[in-house]
Chain A
Amino acid sequence: MTDSQSRHQSRSFQSQGFWADAWARFRRKPLAMAALVFVTLLAAVALLAPAIAGTKPVLCRYKGRIYAPCLGYFDRRLEPTIFAKDRFRGTYPRNLKEKDADSWAIWPLVFQDPHRAVRENEWPGRPANPAKDEGRPNGINLFGTDQYGVDVFAKMVHGTTIALLVGVVSMGLAGTIGIIVGALGGYFGGWVDMLTSRVTEIVMCVPTLVLILAVIAIVEKPTIWKTMAIIGATGWTGIARLTRGEFLRLRQSEFVTAARATGAGPVRIMLRHILPNALAPVLVPITFGIASAILTESSLSFLGFGPPPPAASWGSLLNDARSNLSMWWLVVFPGVAIFLTVLAYNLIGEGLQEVTDPRLREARK
């Protein structure tokens, strides 16, 4: 074994030790673990959304071949074109039987569509979805229907993707910007620090709402991806400040001096030596940031600046509820969903903080 290999191994062993230790502590926290399970569950719901609620078969055999029309919910282009050619017009159950007597299909757990109201007899023997304020939760519409008769459960299941993506994508972006800006300022100090600190302060002071609303208004076609990008591009200031502080502290430490003495360049020192040591405290605000990004997105949708239809986020359901306050189910279900998701991320962040911050760890002993 060469010298560099053994050095590499001992380092990876050490850093594994820290994270394995943190994970062992994390697992002993029932609330944080419950939150982690909940978020994993949400991810599963988001991935399996078309199989949970939809009007397109998960799998079906039609004219001798097997198709998965439910993929159309992820992207229109994924829906096999043969059904459009055969004039299904989005109504599968009757058409499948009429046009091919030998066909079979595996249906989603709940036959309801997130984009439109289910019509009478679309599913043999089932009445049309009630519209206006008649659609209380019942056996067919688990969470009721909105004022147009669209099933709330289906909308929420399909909105899960947005809620999860918003948090992860926007905080991924914010984390990258924040770590880079903070690392540069903290490591180099001097005028670099002056510049990055000033930029951070400016972004911090610009009212987030103006920034977001203005950018959403400026971009040509607002999509959920652009909203995520904007939330990420405005939400990195806290992360940058914390990273800067960590880098300021760590650049004085002995292992950095040692690394410099071996001839490592600044990029290498920052990425391989300081960042792994600064990562744990920086992960905490990122986790809290996911919670606040989900909040921001749902409040934007709530104010009417959400993703364009037919995509529906939980917040836009609440926006519908504002003008139909007697339909309590439009508030309760999406509201509780947003709340639980935010709570879960906050609990995970809290748990992460407790297991990675040595000062808090000492206190528990």
Chain B
Amino acid sequence: MATYLLRRLLLGMLTLVAITFIVYGLARNMPGTPLTVQMGESDPSRKLNPEDQERMKRIYGLDRPWHEGYLRWLGNVVRGDLGRSFSRKQPVTTLIGERIGPTFLVSGTALVLAWLLGVPLGLYASARSGMADERATSLLLYILYSFPTFVAALFLQIVFSVWLRGTAWELPLFGMSDLPADASWAARAADIARHAILPVTCQTYVSLAYDSRFIKANMEEAVRQDYIRTARAKGAGPGRVLFHHAFRNTLIPLVTLLGLSLPGLIGGSVIIEQIFTWPGMGRLFFESIRERDYPTIMGLTLMFSVLTLIGQLLADLLYCLVDPRVSVE
């Protein structure tokens, strides 16, 4: 077990180096630098003259070829320093710290809601498998599952922000809060909650549809097993068979699914945050690509990759832990 973990960790390190190397190379080779993109676009008169540009480039280390820049970045990361954002003049860790809260507010709420609704729905669907009402529900969930989030987001914006404007049902179009910072705590919380409704809805419905379909698929596999026949034969009622015998045996893939949603929980959704101008990680990522803000791109990439790798490792370990037939060796 220890050797397995050690090997996985070493391989993970190698993978991380490879990923960050590729992303750094791609980012540095995008046309434009943080200096030209940022200043030239907003105001041509603020464009730096060539000497200043050279000086700034030296300060930021952009005069060196990109692989040297990568080695310097890697060295700093090993020492626990993710660098400072070019465009926001703040350490990358501070930026991530600021954005993690809003993202977690949306994705965490969405995750909890999706599971709270998805598990009963999935169980209901497998209990009534083949009946007319189950078919209708499953079809509806399937339709939801195929419905692109950005289309749904635009529909919701039109309905709740344009058509219902001026009514009690109106919801804010974008942003996280309209109130000034000195407003009362309760008022601010209510305001943020109102702003969060649409993004949370968008993020919930997709995972809800996915989770319940996943649960149903696993249950269908479980109810075909011999131990279910045994349970029925010994006289267990349908409810007991469903919960106690079948559902408990589908928990393994569920826990794995939960583990794999870890990166999304922190990483947020670029598209949803972009549509609702929600100040989270996904939007930070998108903005940093547009601003050619290399340290922020790299910091976020590192974080996503670490989370993805941890999620995969956790999934594999959980499998070994709960299923003795699978061995790490």
Contacts and interface: CB of A to CB of B under 8 A. Distances in A.
Nearest to A350: B142
Contacts of A339: 146-148, 151
Contact of B158 (A205, A211, A214, A328): A328
A335 B309 contact: no
B305 A205 contact: yes
Interface stretch (A95-103, A106-114, A298-306): A298-306
Interface stretch (B42-50, B55-63, B120-128, B269-277): B269-277
A193 B18 CA distance: 18
Interface in A327-350: 328, 331-332, 335-336, 338-339, 342-343, 346-347, 350
A299 B269 CA distance: 12
A81 B123 CA distance: 65
Given A214-B26, A325-B161, A325-B162, A363 B142 contact: no
Contacts of B317: none
Nearest to A204: B308
A299 B271 contact: yes
Contacts of B161: 325
A318 B146 contact: no
A263 interface: no
B148 A331 contact: no
A210 B23 contact: yes
Interface in B159-176: 161-162, 173
Interface string B290-325: 000000010011001100110010000000000000
B183 interface: no
A29 interface: no
Contacts of A299: 148, 150, 271
B233 interface: no
A218 interface: yes
A210 B297 contact: yes
Contacts of A350: 142
B220 A363 contact: yes
B73 interface: no
Interface string A205-225: 111011101110110000000
Contacts of A322: 154, 275
A202 interface: yes
* Residue among A202, A204, A218, A321 with the highest chain B CB neighbour number at 10 A: A202
B288 to A, nearest CB: 10
A352 B18 CA distance: 36
A322 B30 CA distance: 27
A210 B275 contact: no
Contacts of A274: none
B328 interface: no
A202 B11 CA distance: 11
A207 B19 CA distance: 9
A218 B26 contact: yes
Contact of B289 (A210, A342, A346): A210
A237 to B, nearest CB: 12
Interface in A254-303: 291, 295, 298-299, 302-303
Contacts of B146: 291, 339, 342-343, 346
Nearest to A302: B150
A217 B161 CA distance: 34
B154 A209 contact: no
Contact of B150 (A204, A318, A336): A318
A153 to B, nearest CB: 18
Contacts, number: 113
Contacts of B285: 207, 209-210
B18 A202 contact: yes
A210 B15 contact: no
B309 to A, nearest CB: 7
Contacts of A31: 139
Given A210-B301, A326-B162, A339-B151, A215 B26 contact: yes
Interface residues of A, number: 41
A331 B155 contact: yes
B23 A206 contact: yes
Contact of B157 (A211, A302, A303, A325): A325
Interface in A168-224: 198, 201-202, 204-207, 209-211, 213-215, 217-218
B289 A331 contact: no
B262 to A, nearest CB: 13
A217 B30 contact: yes
A205 B19 contact: yes
Nearest to A208: B270
Contacts of A298: 148, 150
Contacts of B151: 318, 331, 335-336, 338-339
B267 to A, nearest CB: 8
Given A198-B11, A318-B150, A205 B26 contact: no
B143 interface: yes
Contacts of B289: 209-210, 213-214
A207 B147 contact: no
Contacts of B221: 359
Contacts of A215: 26
A336 B158 CA distance: 15
A157 B205 CA distance: 30
Contacts of A342: 146, 148
Given A209-B285, A218-B31, A299-B150, 7 more contacts: A202-B18, A204-B308, A205-B19, A205-B309, A214-B23, A342-B146, A343-B142
Which 3 A-B pairs have CB atoms at the shortest separation, nearest pair first? A214-B26, A335-B151, A343-B146
29 contacts: A198-B11, A198-B15, A204-B308, A205-B309, A206-B305, A210-B23, A210-B27, A210-B285, A210-B289, A210-B301, A214-B26, A217-B30, A218-B31, A298-B148, A299-B148, A299-B150, A302-B150, A302-B271, A303-B270, A303-B274, A318-B154, A322-B154, A322-B275, A325-B173, A331-B158, A336-B151, A342-B148, A346-B142, A346-B146
Interface of B: 11, 14-15, 18-19, 22-23, 26-27, 29-31, 139, 142-143, 145-148, 150-151, 154-155, 157-158, 161-162, 173, 220-221, 224, 270-271, 274-275, 285-286, 289, 297, 300-301, 304-305, 308-309, 312
